[in-house]
Amino acid sequence: MTVQNRQIEVLRYDPERDETPRFETFTVPCKEEWVVLDALTYIKDELDPSLTFRWSCHMAVCGSCGMQVDNKPTLSCKAFVRDYGEKIRVEPLANFPIERDLVISQDDFMEKLQRGRPWIIPEQKREVEDGPYVQTPMQLDDIKEHTMCINCLLCYAACPVYALERDFVGPAALTLMYRYNADSRDAGWDERREVFAGHGGVWECSFVGACSDVCPKHVEPATAIQKGKMDSAVDYFTRFLMPGGGK
Amino acid sequence: MQVVETDVAVIGAGGAGLRAAIAVAETAPDLDVAVVSKVLPMRSHTVAAEGGAAGVIRGEDSLDAHFDDTVSGGDWLCDQDAVELFVEDAPKQLTRLEHWGCPWSRTPEGGVNTRPFGGMKIERTWFAADKSGFHILHTLFQTSLKYPSIKRFDEFFSAELLVDEGRVAGVVAIEVRTGEIWCFKAKSVIIASGGAGKVYPFTTNGAIKTGDGMAMAYRAGVPLKDMEFVQYHPTGLPGTGILLTEGCRGEGGYLTNKHGYRYLQDYGLGPPEPSPRKKAMELGPRDRLSQAFWHEMQKGNTIDTPYGEAINLDLRHLGEDKINERLPFVRDLATSYMRADPVHVPVPVRPVVHYMMGGIHTDIDARTSIEGLFAAGECAAVSINGANRLGSNSLTELLVFGDRAGKHAAQFAREAAPADNAARIDAQAEDCARKIENIYAREERKESTAELRRTMADAMEEGCGIYRDEGRIRSTCETLADLRHRLPGTALKDKSKVFNTDLLSILELENMLEVAESLAHSAYARSESRGSHQRLDHTGRDDDTFLKHSMAHYRGDQAPEIGYLDVVITKSPPGERLYGGAADAKAQKVEAAE
Amino acid sequence: MARRPYPQEVDRFKWWIADPHFNRPYYLDYIARESTCIFIALYTILFVWGLGALASGPEAFAGFMGAMQSGWGLALQLVILAFALYHTVTWFMLAPQGMKPLRMKNGKRVPATRVMQVLYGAFAAATVVTLLLVWVLLP
Ligand SMILES: Cc1cc2nc3c(=O)[nH]c(=O)nc-3n(C[C@H](O)[C@H](O)[C@H](O)COP(=O)(O)OP(=O)(O)OC[C@H]3O[C@@H](n4cnc5c(N)ncnc54)[C@H](O)[C@@H]3O)c2cc1C
Ligand code: FES
């Protein structure tokens, strides 16, 4: 097991002491197989217990540990130090307000997530006695990648539209809405239309595509949103141009 | 201090906590539910579960078969009334989850697909590829958003229960981002705070699994049950402890030693067959598999890796397509964290601490011995897991008993007479706030929190590992007592109120030490071997003395007191646990006799 | 003291220059892709002008053709062609990412490369047909 010193340059911000954020550099003896998160826990345990960041699973599935690593939104538990240079810069995720050090405020996302009504809205109430719905592997495959979102918010940090237009519902929340709209068990399009296709919805997206690039779970938010635009266009035409609103 | 008045408070927003909250919202929409969680719901460790959730759905399966597998898997330490109820409700709960949108993997006809799991006679594990826990948690979380009566308090760290005269009155919590103390006054409280794997150094558990809820209940006077039963999962990645699901073996993976030999056939699990046979070889129960690893290590048959001894998990014969379809996450994890792509090479694995069978003692309605206080999920011991949990029973347990906890807590909140104890409860909350202030006030940092934590974890591995003996358990108990004594020597280097994780790690360490102590003392007292508790100095199972639950009672600064409670047996008298060919031979004999 | 979240804002005009380290420069690519549509618009203007000239009589049309065939006219059209091609190719590259998956008979998704092949094929066919028409129709 080889150990190599690396300079970890971390953005620090303690609202009780710092007017603005500042950088602090730590020298960390990193083991070969370490991820950036390991280096941060080392700093916290051995050098400075006040360093503040979120983490839990250490296996890239809980979505806690998103950060900018060398200026790219990344899960720090899956960012191997061996893939970086001698100096690694770690900052909180872009576009979000910084609570403290590497911890950002997630309130805006949580509010938008809920606004999107991300739950099955069935055509008819179904009882346990009715058994599971029939859903073919192909119907599942239609939504599969879009169900994989871990809410790590890397996509929001990569999205220039979200950076400029704070009303934008954003990649992850819109993808989740698409995932429910497109689920064979769901009939909730009408209830979600306003948020999905109205102000701040899919049409706000200009298809830069960086969200899909940084997504650690290949959720393809960019694709979901474009597909959502298509659905929204079809919905528009059927409602306004077809006799009887397309019903 | 901020005060919130609510009907039901739920501590924890993992699978069990969310299921409980939904149960309250559905059965009693007029009651307020406050869900207090130290992390956002979707960060809860349920998210990490990969393999799936057990529930009888196939025609050739039966509730009795699920019952039998569970009870024998638990080495007859399960309460059988709880298991009966559990297997009966399991398919219903999993179906509910399907209605709520869980993307279960499907059969070609569009039904729910199932996979085999260790110790289960028939494929009865519902799965969503190898991200079952993730999908269950997100489905529950997203579904919970539709109920207006559920109010979440995310990133609120629960510090202490409020209990007066044997009845719960609420919980005190720290709002992490402000450092403010909040008092949640509730008619009933459900603890769903998950397990405590972090008392060990090498675990599949996330950073948040520090046994807080167990410790809170324990301090409040509820006994912790069967704490000595700790599950080692046979296939964790060396170094990180990241889990590769039992689904790997369910799909047909082999375990081989350094000679490429499927060594499990030497431990009463054979005969080896090319494709998976249920309840045999790689699909034996976890305790047996982890113990077999230990023996192989003694024999020098394990593989020496830079991160310790390991054996190989070989999936190559499954082929790339099947691995991509059924085990994509496993492939990703092994390739990234171990640099071993299972399509091309065997992956080194080793046993790693995974699950606490023990926990807060509850009855089958999730009630504890404190009135109005309920517990469900991994923090509780109801107990369906006995001395060894079967893989994929836990996710189902969260649903079955989370639901029951919710319903009964709602009922209690509605029916219980109001208590006249406001002044005493306020004083208790003030006490708790003062305790936290005192931690801030400590000047001299004589001890490092991280150092104490490491010492604790190492002592646990040493004394309470896969195989234990009196001497080593005793020395672990001594170390733990010493650590509890040293804990007040810690102090904060970080004095900020905002998001102070330095403070939380001291509180978590205190909780872990108490949980660890209950565990070690229970292990010390149980001088027999059963399920996951294997004593080198008492190798046999001793039903005469120990067909009983251990009950650890808190006694302040002193060591816990260990008592016992009878196991509930309804229809399955204790028998021999047989797997592989031996089980078949026995079954044939029984059939012939009949 | 209490929390004081520190906002992270970006510059409304310069955000795309400060490109984060993605696998490719997404922001710049985006600006290039979108800004090249100006040239498509420019060509449309030329085209409308041509149509107008045609309607106003042979003299006006001759004048238009003259302008198009001049050195400057040709240079302008070449530049437009280059940017129009760039614009087209970038959209082709995005296409598979922006549509619902097409499925083969066995239910498997049609791979992205195949979608691109079809797009380029259609593009080539349309070009050939146009050139043929021009060749046949021109005196
Ligand atoms: C890697 C892994 C794989 C697994 N795979 C399977 C599987 O395939 N099948 C199966 O059946 N089981 C599996 N298990 C076991 C199962 O996932 C867990 O037992 C189960 O998810 C625990 O759920 P829970 O709701 O009890 O707790 P958790 O999901 O751990 O949630 C605990 C909650 O309590 C909160 N909390 C804790 N302390 C506090 C506090 N002090 N204040 C406020 N809130 C607090 C947390 O924030 C969290 O929301 C697996 C476990 C692991 C670790
Ligand atoms: S720690 Fe869970 S995603 Fe990184």
- Write the secondary structure of B522-576 as one string of H (helix), E (strand) and C (coil): HHHHCCCCECCEEECCECCCCHHHHCEEEEEECCCCCCCEEEEEECCCCCCCCCC
pLDDT at site B221: 98
Q: What are the angstrom distances between the C-alpha of B373 and each of B16, B91, B433, B518, B548?
A: 15, 27, 22, 20, 24
Cα(C57)–Cα(A69) distance, integer angstroms: 65
Above 80 in pLDDT, residue B594? no
A36 lines ligand 2 (CB under 6 A): no
If pLDDT is split at 50, 70 and 90, which confidence band does A245 have? low
Q: Tell me which chain A residues have a C-beta less than 8 angstroms from the C-beta of C23.
A: 213
How high is the pLDDT of residue B292?
95
For C18, which residue in chain A has the nearest alpha carbon?
Answer: A71
* Residue C12 near chain A (CB below 8 Å): yes
Q: Is A67 in the pocket of ligand 2 (CB under 6 A)?
A: no
- Beta A87-91 vs A3-12: how paired, if at all? parallel
Kindly list the domain boundaries of chain A, sorted by start residue: 3-104, 107-241
At residue C32, does pLDDT exceed 60? yes
* Distance between CA atoms of residues B109 and B128, nearest Å: 16
Q: Which residue of A has its CA nearest to B497?
A: A16
Averaged pLDDT, C39-58? 93
Instruction: Give tens-digit pLDDT for B469-493.
Output: 999 999 999 999 999 999 999 999 9
| pLDDT band at residue C22 under the 50/70/90 scheme | confident
Spacing, Cα B48 to ligand 2 middle (Å): 10
pLDDT value of position B580: 86
Does A99 contact C10 at a Cβ distance shorter than 8 Å? no
Q: To which CATH superfamily is domain A3-104 assigned?
A: Beta-grasp domain (3.10.20.30)
Ligand 2: centre distance to CA B332 (Å)? 14
Instruction: Pull the structure tokens for residue A60.
Output: 């890239």
Share of chain B above pLDDT 70, in %: 100
pLDDT in tens, A26-62: 999 999 899 999 999 999 999 999 999 999 999 999 9
pLDDT value of position B585: 85
Instruction: Pick the catalytic residue from B124, B233, B533, B549.
Output: B233
Instruction: Examine the pLDDT at A246 and tell me if it is beyond 60.
Output: no
- Structure-derived torsion over alpha carbons of residues A104, A107, A109, A115, reported in degrees to the nearest 10: 180
Nearest alpha carbon, ligand 1 atom 41: B158
- C-chain CB neighbours of A213 within 8 Å are 22-24, 26
Give the count of beta carbons closer than 10 Å to the beta carbon of residue B30. Answer: 9
Ligand nearest to the backbone CA of A79 = 2
Evaluate whether the domain defined by A107-241 bears CATH number 1.10.3210.10: no
Q: Write out B461-503 in H/E/C secondary structure.
A: HHHCCCEECHHHHHHHHHHHHHHHHHHHHECCCCCCCCCCHHH
CB-based contacts of B389, cutoff 8 Å, min separation 6: B73, B74, B231, B286, B355, B357
Q: What is the mean pLDDT of chain B?
A: 96
Distance between CA atoms of A60 and A154, rounded to whole angstroms? 12
For residue B584, count other CB atoms closer than 10 A to its CB. 15
Do the two domains A3-104 and A107-241 of this chain adopt the same fold? no
Residues in chain A within 8 Å Cβ distance of B449 = 49
Residue B303, pLDDT > 90, answer yes
Percent of chain B with pLDDT over 90: 93
User: Cβ A110–B47 below 8 Å, yes or no?
Assistant: no
- Mean pLDDT calculated for residue range B403-414: 98
Domains of chain C: 15-137 (1.20.1300.10)
* Residues 6 or more apart whose Cβ sits within 8 Å of residue B209: B45, B194, B195, B196, B197, B198, B203
CA of B88 to the centre of ligand 1 (A): 23
Q: Would you state the pLDDT for residue B13?
A: 98
> For helices B393-415 and B132-144, what crossing angle results, to 10°?
20
Taking every pair of C-alpha atoms in chain A, what is the biggest distance, in angstroms? 72
Contact partners for chain A, using 3 or more CB pairs closer than 8 A, are: B, C
Which pLDDT score, from 0 to 100, does residue C19 have?
65
Active-site position among B43, B135, B138, B249: B249
Contacts of C1 in chain B (CB under 8 A): 497-498
Span B353-383, pLDDT tens digits:
999 999 999 999 999 999 999 999 999 999 9
Peptide bond into B272 cis (omega under 30): no
Substitution target in A57, A102, A151 with the highest count of B β-carbons within 10 Å is A57
Q: How far is C110 from chain A (nearest CA, A)?
A: 13
Q: What distance in Å separates the CA atoms of residue A191 and residue A171, rounded to the nearest whole number? A: 19
How many residues in total does chain B contain? 594
What φ, ψ does residue B529 adopt, rounded to 5°? -115, 130
Helix (H) or strand (E) holding B20: helix B15-27
CB-based contact B32:B409 (threshold 8 Å):
no
Whether B233 is a known active-site residue: answer yes
Task: Give residue for tokens 């770690």.
Answer: A90
Tell me phi and psi for residue B182, to 5 degrees.
Answer: -115, 140
Do A15 and C6 lie within an 8 Å CB cutoff? yes
Q: DSSP letters along B22-73, please?
A: HHHHHH-TTS-EEEEESS-GGGSGGGG--S-EE---STT--HHHHHHHHHHH
Q: What is the atom index within ligand 2 of the atom nearest the CA of A66?
A: 4
Task: With a cut of 80, say whether residue C66 has pLDDT above it.
Answer: yes
Burial of C84 per CB tally in 10 Å (0-12, 13-18, 19+) = middle
Compute the nearest-CA separation of B432 from chain A (Å).
Answer: 23
Q: Is the minimum distance from the CB of A151 to ligand 2 under 6 angstroms?
A: no
H or E stretch at A111: helix A107-115
Please identify, by atom number, the ligand 2 atom nearest to the C-alpha of residue B43: 2
Cα(B9)–Cα(B16) distance, integer angstroms: 13
Please give the structure tokens belonging to residue A28.
């960390």
Per-residue pLDDT of A176-213, as tens digits, reads: 999 999 999 999 999 999 999 999 999 999 999 999 99
**Subunits with 3+ C-beta pairs closer than 8 A to B:** A, C
3-class DSSP assignment, residue A194: helix
DSSP assignment letter at C97: G
Q: Report the residue of chain C nearest A226, measured CA to CA.
A: C98
Does the beta-carbon distance from C22 to A160 stay under 8 Å? no
**Closest-approaching ligand to the CA atom of B39:** 1
Residue A107: name the closest of B521, C7, B188, B307 by CA: C7
- ∠ CA(C53), CA(C58), CA(C60), 5° rounding? 40
Contacts of B497 in chain C (CB under 8 A): 1-2
Mean pLDDT within A128-144: 96
Is A47 touching ligand 2 by the criterion CB < 6 Å?
Answer: no
Q: What is the ipTM of this complex?
A: 0.97
Would you state the pLDDT for residue B16? 98
Rounded CA separation B542/B530 (Å): 8
Examine the residue annotation and report whether B249 is marked as an active-site residue of this protein: yes
- The pLDDT tens digits for B171-223 are 999 999 999 999 999 999 999 999 999 999 999 999 999 999 999 999 999 99
Q: Coil, strand or helix: which one is B8? A: strand
Instruction: Work out the average pLDDT over B342-361.
Output: 97
| Partner residue facing A103 (CB), from B43, B306, B499 | B499
Phi-psi category of residue A58: left, alpha or beta, with phi > 0 → left and psi -120 to 50 → alpha: left
**Chain A residues close to C20, C-beta within 8 Å:** 68, 71-73, 94, 158, 210
Which pLDDT score, from 0 to 100, does residue B516 have? Answer: 98
CB atoms A62 and B45 under 8 Å: yes
Give residue B413's pLDDT.
97
Q: Which domains does chain B have, with CATH numbers?
A: 238-352 (3.90.700.10)
Q: Measured in angstroms, how far is the CA atom of residue B392 from the centroid of ligand 1?
A: 13
Could you tell me if the CB of A65 is within 6 A of ligand 2? yes
pLDDT at C1 over 80: no
Give the number of the ligand closest to the Cα of residue A66: 2
Residue A204 corresponds to which amino acid? E
- Which among A16, A71, A226 has the least Cβ separation from residue C20? A71
The mean pLDDT value for B508-525 works out to: 98
Does pTM surpass 0.80?
yes
